[in-house]
């Protein structure tokens, strides 16, 4: 096995905020396997989603493009197919590529969609093997490998019968109605484990393991909630109605622990097969979750709990044990990093991307990585905005009326009080305007390179 072509295990979960990791103060979830990745690799404490919404964030991960470049701004249209992707580049480098779990490339097809009937479209993104699930709330009306599994077991009707019992906004309050062995993240973990066990290790692999929690529905199995009494949950910051949130937070903590267990299972297979030393493991979420902070729910907000995500990487011989980076990192940088680690020039693989590889940063992770990060949201669910965030400040431009909000993140890390500071406002405003000029929308009719 060549050091220049490591195996790549790319693990994502959904709507996991940056500070719900077991070693962080006040986090009620226990995450020993993610902690193992931190001890044996690097913890990126300032990683940010390009767009805190499922489809655009994941499209950025596969293409290395910002939403404004690809046109994938929200969840109302399927991913564009004209742009080169990171898995396609890895295929050209001799990788066996697999997507198991949640990808979320299709939304605008009628609600009768069965994802198992469009696997050819997922293969076209660069995956040799596809075993896709829809996610928990989508599975109420979309079929996928998981719903077919439940149907074969005679359980799908019982799962879908839960939908009317859940709030249409929060999807919370009821534990998973089936035995835990059928929980979607356990199902994804099972299939990832099986694929890793059967893969011929003589060929480098790229496996995208896409887990669905802690995205709503807040439906942790009842047995998991015993360890997380609602009254023990930390209260959301700047929320006048904190009593509304303990149950949701209890479910969220339990779901984070389920994800952690699945990560542990995948790491164990690498250990058992002797693959650990030559496998780059990356763990990241597509976006975060407000969880009641500032009396806000869910994603699509410009606040750090929504745009900032957990991010860990392990690559023996390339990343020193226990490394920590406070450099500003964008999701698309992980895309470039996978291409670079596989030995392919990023400009060849992703010619329109302005993503930066982390491979050299990992050698000396104490320095800066980006001067600022950019994030955006088109307003499908909440008011639209664009932002730039530096180490110390954040400027949010609200697109409905053009107003702007500045925050000093050193003095006000929870973004409770807007700042009046003309000099810093003008500086970040210039950074935002220059970035927008440098990253115009790309033609969706272009041919892949």
pLDDT by residue (tens digit) across 16-29? 999 999 999 999 99
Q: Domain spanning 7-370 has what CATH number?
A: 3.40.720.10
Q: Is the pLDDT of residue 1 over 60?
A: no
> φ, ψ for residue 44 (rounded to 5)?
-90, 105
Q: Please choose, from the candidates 212, 208, 132, 131, the residue with its C-alpha nearest in 3D space to the C-alpha of residue 176.
A: 212
Q: Is the pLDDT of residue 171 over 80?
A: no
The domain limits of the chain are 7-370, 376-438
What pLDDT was estimated at residue 448? 37
Q: Is the pLDDT of residue 205 over 50?
A: yes
* Contact call for residues 83 and 70 (beta carbons, < 8 A): yes
Length of the chain: 449
What pLDDT was estimated at residue 3? 47
What pLDDT was estimated at residue 165? 67
What pLDDT was estimated at residue 170? 62
- Tell me the pLDDT tens digit for each residue of 101-118: 999 999 866 678 999 999
Question: DSSP per residue over 84-118, as a string?
Answer: --HHHHHHHTT-EEEEEEE-----SS-TT-BGGG-
- Give the CA distances from residue 150 to residues 160, 178, 416, 428, in Å, rounded to whole numbers and listed in that order: 10, 10, 45, 50
- Tell me the pLDDT tens digit for each residue of 250-292: 999 999 999 999 999 999 999 999 999 999 999 999 999 999 9
Q: Tokens 């407000």 sit at which residue?
A: 290
Q: Is the pLDDT of residue 46 over 50?
A: yes
What pLDDT was estimated at residue 162? 82
User: Across residues 379-390, what is the average pLDDT?
Assistant: 95
Q: Is the pLDDT of residue 449 over 50?
A: no
What is the dihedral angle through the alpha carbons of 59, 63, 69, 72, rounded to the nearest 10 degrees?
-20
Q: Considering just the CA atoms, what is the radius of gyration of the chain in Å?
A: 21
Judge residue 137's burial from the number of C-beta atoms within 10 Å of its C-beta, 0-12 exposed, 13-18 middle, 19 or more buried. middle
* Three-class HEC string of 127-180: CCEEEEECCCCHHHCCECHHHHHHHHCCCHHHHHCCHHHCCCCCCECCCCCCCH
128 vs 245 pLDDT, higher one = 128
Q: Please choose, from the candidates 123, 120, 121, 119, the residue with its C-alpha nearest in 3D space to the C-alpha of residue 133.
A: 119
User: Across residues 86-91, what is the average pLDDT?
Assistant: 98
What is the C-alpha to C-alpha distance for residues 218 and 240, in angstroms, rounded to an integer? 22
Q: Is the pLDDT of residue 132 over 80?
A: yes
What is the C-alpha to C-alpha distance for residues 379 and 401, in angstroms, rounded to an integer? 13
**CA atoms within a 13 Å half-sphere pointing along the CA-CB vector of 48:** 29
| Sign of the CA dihedral with 197 first, then 200, 204, and 208 last | negative
List the structure tokens of 354.
């302005």
Q: Is the pLDDT of residue 426 over 60?
A: yes
On average, the pLDDT of the chain sits at 93
What pLDDT was estimated at residue 168? 61
CATH topology of domain 376-438: Arylsulfatase, C-terminal domain (3.30.1120)
Q: Is the pLDDT of residue 447 over 50?
A: no
Q: Tokens 């730039």 sit at which residue?
A: 388
Alpha helix positions (H), 200-358: 222-225, 246-272, 304-307, 331-341, 346-349
3-state helix, strand, coil in the chain (%, to 5): 35, 15, 50
What is the C-alpha to C-alpha distance for residues 29 and 23, in angstroms, rounded to an integer? 9
Q: Please choose, from the candidates 285, 313, 378, the residue with its C-alpha nearest in 3D space to the C-alpha of residue 16.
A: 285
- Tell me the pLDDT tens digit for each residue of 192-204: 999 999 999 999 9
> Which residues have C-beta within 8 Å of that of residue 263, sequence separation ≥ 6?
11, 33, 34, 37, 283
Q: Is the pLDDT of residue 385 over 80?
A: yes
Q: Is the pLDDT of residue 172 over 80?
A: no
What pLDDT was estimated at residue 253? 97
User: Across residues 128-156, what is the average pLDDT?
Assistant: 96
| Sign of the CA dihedral with 33 first, then 36, 42, and 46 last | positive
């Amino acid at each position: 096995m060549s050091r220049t072509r490591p195996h790549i295990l790319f693990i994502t979960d959904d709507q996991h905020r940056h500070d719900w990791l077991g070693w962080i103060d006040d986090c009620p979830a226990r995450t020993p396997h993610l902690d193992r990745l931190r001890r044996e690799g690097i913890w990126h404490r300032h990683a940010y989603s390009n767009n805190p919404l499922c489809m655009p964030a994941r499209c950025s991960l596969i293409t290395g493009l910002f939403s404004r470049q690809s046109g994938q701004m929200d969840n109302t249209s399927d991913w564009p197919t004209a742009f080169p992707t990171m898995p396609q580049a890895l295929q050209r480098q001799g990788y066996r590529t697999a997507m198991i779990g949640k990808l979320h490339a299709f939304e605008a097809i009628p609600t009768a969609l069965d994802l198992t009937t469009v696997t050819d479209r997922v293969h076209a993104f660069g995956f040799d093997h596809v075993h896709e699930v829809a996610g928990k709330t989508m599975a109420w009306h979309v079929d996928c490998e998981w719903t077919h599994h439940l149907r074969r077991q005679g359980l799908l009707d019982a799962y879908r019968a839960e939908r009317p019992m859940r709030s249409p906004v929060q999807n919370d309050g009821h534990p998973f109605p089936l035995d835990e062995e059928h929980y979607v993240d356990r199902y994804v973990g099972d299939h990832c484990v099986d694929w890793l066990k059967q893969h011929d290790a003589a060929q480098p692999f790229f496996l995208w393991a896409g887990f669905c929690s802690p995205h709503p529905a807040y439906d942790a199995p009842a047995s998991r909630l015993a360890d997380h009494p609602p009254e023990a949950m930390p209260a959301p910051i700047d929320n006048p109605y904190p009593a509304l949130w303990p149950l949701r937070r209890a479910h969220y903590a339990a779901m984070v622990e389920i994800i952690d267990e699945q990560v542990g299972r995948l790491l164990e297979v690498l250990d058992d097969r002797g693959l650990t030393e030559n496998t780059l493991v990356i763990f990241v979420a597509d976006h975060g979750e407000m969880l009641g902070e500032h009396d806000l729910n869910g994603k699509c907000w410009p606040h750090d709990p929504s745009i900032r995500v957990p991010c860990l990487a392990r690559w023996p011989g390339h990343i020193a044990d226990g490394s920590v980076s406070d450099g500003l990192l964008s999701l698309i940088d992980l895309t470039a990093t996978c291409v670079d680690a596989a030995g392919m020039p990023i400009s060849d693989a992703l010619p329109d991307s302005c993503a930066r590889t982390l491979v050299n940063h990992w050698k000396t992770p104490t320095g800066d990585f980006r001067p600022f990060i950019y994030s955006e949201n088109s307003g499908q669910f909440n008011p639209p905005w664009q932002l730039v965030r530096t180490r110390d400040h954040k400027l949010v431009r609200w697109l409905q009326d053009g107003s702007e909000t500045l925050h000093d993140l050193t003095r006000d890390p929870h973004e409770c009080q807007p700042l009046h500071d003309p000099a810093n406002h003008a500086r970040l405003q210039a950074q935002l305007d220059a970035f927008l000029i440098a990253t115009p929308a790309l033609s969706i009719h272009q041919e892949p390179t």
